[in-house]
Amino acid sequence: MEARTVRVFPFHPMRVGRTGILASLFAIGLIHLGNARTAAGQSRPSGGAAPHADDGSSETQGPGRQSASGTRPLRAGSSQSEASHGGPASGNESHRAMPLKPEWADLPPAHEQYLNDILKYWEHSSSKIERYQCTFTRWVYDLPTDAAGRPASDRGGREAARQISQGLIKYMAPDKAMYQARKVWNFDATKKDYVDVPVERHGDHWICDGEWIYEFDYPQSTLRKIQLPPDARGEAISKGPLPFLFRAKGDEIRARFWMRVDTPPDVKGEYHLEAAPRTQEDAAMFRVARIVIAETDYLPKAIVLVPRTNDGRSSQREVFVFENREINWTFKDLLNGLNLWQRDFYEPSVPKGWKLIEQPYRGGHEVGAPGVTAERPAPGASRR
């Protein structure tokens, strides 16, 4: 099949720390969401647009390829994110009021039905997932612009990402997940090209076993073991800060996000959805999300996340493309290594020379508060 290029919508990149939005949403974001409720081996990637997942021809009889009336594609430099959320990000967003309703939220009846049909098929496909894995490529766009406001570009004249990483995501229903970057490249402005950097210092790796999150902090040689609040355990991983990947449920997604279909008219074989947070909890995580649903399996093949720091006038964003998506396996697979596959979800061994920091959940206390953290060296660690 002829390779195509996925549209990396004209949202503009985001400013994030070493850990990206998607990784932190599942890990730390899930913890703090629960606390709030309780108290209350790949080839080098190109630097351009994310590669299109090769899905082949459509086999799913979904809601058809009608255009979504009442929508319009976002333009580069548009202030849709700002319009959707009541203006630029303030310096104290943790104390902001509830997000404002987007100007497009009242959908025409035909668009409303079309959106519901897509969500219904998406939920049906997600409900069958017991085991899931995929490879991912992630682009982080947050490099400074020049005096004219133009973003940095690579040798080919394409917008440059600050960092590109590739890795593996695994999920096992109802409450286990793993995220691991296995290759990382940083953009070198002098060379106008990407250079390999050690994944041990620039990659993200965490595991959730349903009760605990294990976060590998490579620069600090520390494995952090963080206990989830009771209401963030079990199936809550699929209801966490980013419910788009695992066992999506249409009613729950619509209760938390204003949504619309915004598929470009020339795109075939996929559905583009826009999601704007309704709640303060979700708005604290990101300003807007774009999800690309593949028509072949009705699962996400790409997600674009715009951070809350992006007021619609910058080019901050984080782009994920999910390829080699696999769900469930046969009995033969079970005999040939499913137990080995599942090992990734259980308490990992502490690397030699590292220290283990346990952060159990204690009532309404924030994880990591005084009296909550217990630290002990790993076997083989140096002792003073």
147 vs 189, higher pLDDT = 189
What architecture does CATH give domain 21-40+76-88+96-193+230-325?
Answer: Clam (2.50)
Q: Which residue has the tokens 């647009």?
A: 49
Comparing CA positions, the residue from 296, 298, 319 lying closest to residue 247 is: 298
Residue range 260-272, pLDDT digits in tens? 999 999 999 999 9
* Cα 271 versus chain centre, distance: 18
- Give the chain's end-to-end CA distance (angstroms, integer): 60
Is residue 101 exposed (0-12), middle (13-18) or buried (19+ Cβ within 10 Å)?
middle
The pair phi, psi for residue 275, each rounded to 5°, is -130, 125
Nearest one of 15, 78, 29, 33 to 308, comparing CA atoms:
15
Q: Are the beta carbons of 226 and 215 closer than 8 angstroms?
A: yes
CA distance 93 to 23: 21
Q: How far apart are CA 89 and CA 310, in angstroms?
A: 7
Taking residue 82's Cβ as centre, other Cβ atoms within 10 Å add up to 16
The closest alpha carbon to 187, from 151, 136, 148, 149, belongs to 151
State pLDDT tens for residues 7-59. 333 322 222 334 454 555 554 444 444 444 444 434 455 554 443 333 333 34
Residue 219: what are its φ and ψ, rounded to 5°?
-60, -30
Residue 375 confidence (pLDDT): 55
**Predicted pLDDT at 331:** 63
DSSP 3-state assignment of 280? helix
Given pLDDT bands bounded at 50, 70 and 90, which one contains residue 146?
confident
Structural domain spans, the chain: 21-40+76-88+96-193+230-325
The model carries a pTM of 0.74
How many other C-beta atoms lie within 10 A of the C-beta of residue 363?
Answer: 8
What confidence category does residue 173 fall into, taking pLDDT thresholds of 50, 70 and 90? confident
State the pLDDT at residue 334: 65
Element (H, E) at 127: helix 109-127
> What integer pLDDT is reported at residue 379 of this predicted model?
46
Please determine, for residue 121, whether its predicted confidence score (pLDDT) is greater than 70. Answer: yes
Of 141, 134, 242, the residue nearest 182 (C-alpha): 134
Taking alpha carbons only, the member of 131, 128, 122 closest to residue 298 is 122
Task: Determine the Cα–Cα distance for residues 222 and 217; give it in Å rounded to an integer.
Answer: 5
